[in-house]
Chain A
Amino acid sequence: MSGGLPRRIIKETQRLQAEPVPGIVAIPDDSNARYFHVDVAGPKESPYEGGVFKLELFLPEEYPMSAPKVRFMTKIYHPNIDKLGRICLDILKDKWSPALQIRTVLLSIQALLSAPNPDDPLANDVAEQWKVNEAQAIEIAKQWTKRYAPSQPMPS
Chain B
Amino acid sequence: MNSEDDLFYNDDDSAHEMDDDDDDFVEMGIEPEPTSTNEKTDVEVFLYEVLTTEQIVQHMVDCIKEVNTVVQIPATTTRILLNHFKWDKEKLMDCYYDGDQEKLFLEAHVISPFKKTPNAKKRTTRATSAAVAASVQQEVTCEICYLALPATLMTGLECGHKFCIQCWTEYLTTKIMDEGMGQVGTISCAAHNCDILVDDATVMKLVKDPKVKLKYQHLITNSFVECNRLLRWCPMPDCGHVVKVQFFDSKPVSCNCGHIFCFACGENWHDPVRCMWLKRWIKKCDDDSETSNWIAANTKECPKCHSTIEKDGGCNHMVCKKCRFDFCWVCLGPWEPHGSSWYNCNRYDEDEAKKARDSQEKSRSALQRYLFYCNRYMNHMQSLKFESKLYASIRLKMEEMQQHNMSWIEVQFLKKAVDVLCQCRQTLMYTYVFAFYLRKNNQSIIFEENQKDLENSTEHLSEYLERDITSDMLVDIKQKVQDKYRYCESRRKVLLDHVHEGYERELWDYLDSA
Contacts and interface: CB of A to CB of B under 8 A. Distances in A.
Interface residues of B, number: 18
A23 interface: no
A62 B173 CA distance: 11
Interface string B178-190: 1000100000001
A62 B179 CA distance: 12
Contacts, number: 40
Nearest to B188: A97
Interface size of A as a range? 10 to 19
B145 A97 contact: no
Contacts of B193: 95, 97
Contact of B146 (A11, A91, A94, A104): A11
A15 to B, nearest CB: 9
B163 interface: yes
A64 B192 contact: no
B178 A8 contact: no
Contacts of B143: 99
A152 to B, nearest CB: 36
Interface in A83-101: 91, 94-95, 97-100
B146 A98 contact: no
Nearest to A97: B192
Contacts of A95: 192-193
Given A91-B192, A94-B182, A97-B193, A65 B170 contact: yes
Q: Which label, helix, strand, loop or mixed, suits the secondary structure of the A interface?
A: loop
B140 to A, nearest CB: 14
B311 to A, nearest CB: 32
B174 A62 contact: yes
B30 interface: no
A8 B190 contact: no
A65 B145 contact: no
A95 B43 CA distance: 51
A97 B191 contact: yes
A7 interface: yes
Given A97-B190, A97-B191, A64 B182 contact: no
* Most central of A62, A91, A95, A99 by chain B CB within 10 Å: A99
Contact of B178 (A66, A91, A99): A66
21 contacts: A6-B145, A7-B145, A8-B144, A8-B145, A12-B146, A62-B178, A64-B144, A66-B178, A94-B182, A95-B193, A97-B190, A97-B191, A97-B192, A97-B193, A98-B171, A98-B190, A99-B143, A99-B163, A99-B191, A99-B192, A100-B192
